[in-house]
Amino acid sequence: MNKAKHIAIIMDGNGRWAELKDKKRVKGHEAGAKVVKEITTFCSQSKDIERLTLYAFSTENWKRPRLEVEFLMKLLESYLRNELPVYLKNNVRFEPIGDTRAFSKSLQKTIKDVQEKTSHCDGLVQSLALNYGAQDEILRAVNKIKDCEDFITEAMLSNALDCKHNVDLLIRTGGDHRLSNFLLWQAAYAELFFTDTLWPDFTTDDLQKIIKDFTKIERRFGGLK
């Protein structure tokens, strides 16, 4: 039976969820942050799930209206501050991926602080993708190693990426069927699941159902059964 050791999620649909309820888009992000908390706690209690990587802010999300970007930054900072004791209680290690140098000094400090204070935790690894784009990640990795190596192998490149772990199960909520520049290298053999459910409505039951379906899939990784 397959184990979903590394689950990655594109958390889409916050804005539409809010608009459907006649609320401002940012209310959808607020509701989405609560779901991040619930799903992380659920995963931290599963004996099979080792990593949970969540797409929280992409390199393209800067194109959104300034006020929405500012709100997302504040939400992220308060989420991380409030979650630190929860991470510690649940033995969750926080490992950001993405180029966080573009964030404010205060947010960078909070990110680093939570990362350092949870570095001893050896349960679930929760990675938030922050100012993350897979193409940017691959380019940064190539630029890191290009001067030291004449010939770059798959292992070398993989090791230079922010996220060095292949994804088993990649889920996208919100009805669209695309990867939106998320973990393009690491998802090479991931099983892809798409659901119309908007992220703020996504529940641990939904995740459990997807994991159950995932376990039944025959994964061949390009070989034969």
Q: How far apart are CA 69 and CA 152, in angstroms?
A: 37
Tell whether residue 46 is among the known ligand binding residues: no
56 binds ligand FPP (CB under 6 A): yes
12 is in an annotated binding site: yes
Catalytic status, residue 61:
yes
Q: Does 29 bind ligand FPP (CB under 6 A)?
A: yes
Applying CB under 6 A, the span of 7-15, 109-117, 150-158, 162-170 interacting with ligand FPP comes to 7-15
Query: Which residue of 71, 132, 182, 199 would you call a contact of ligand FPP, by CB under 6 A?
Result: 199
Question: Is 98 a residue that touches ligand FPP (CB under 6 A)?
Answer: no
Q: Which position among 5, 16, 140, 165 is part of the footprint of ligand FPP (CB under 6 A)?
A: 16
219 is annotated as contributing to ligand binding:
no
Q: Is 51 annotated as a binding residue?
A: no
Decide if residue 124 touches ligand FPP (CB under 6 A): no
Min CB(161)–ligand FPP separation in Å: 21
Q: What are phi and psi of 23, to 5 degrees?
A: -110, 165
| Residue 133 found at the interface with ligand FPP (CB under 6 A) | no
What's the closest the beta carbon of residue 199 comes to ligand FPP, in angstroms? Answer: 6
Query: Judged by CB under 6 A, which of 79, 94, 103, 202 binds ligand FPP?
Result: 79
Sign, CA dihedral 151-149-53-165, equals positive
Active-site annotation holds for 206:
no
Q: Which is nearer to ligand FPP, 79 or 214 (CB)?
A: 79
- Of 200, 172, 195, 176, give the one whose Cα is nearest residue 8: 172
Catalytic residues: 12, 61
Annotated binding site for substrate: 13-17, 25, 29, 58-60, 62, 64, 172, 178-180
Q: Which residues here bind ligand FPP, judged by CB under 6 A?
A: 11-16, 29, 32-33, 36, 56, 61, 75-76, 79, 128, 174, 199
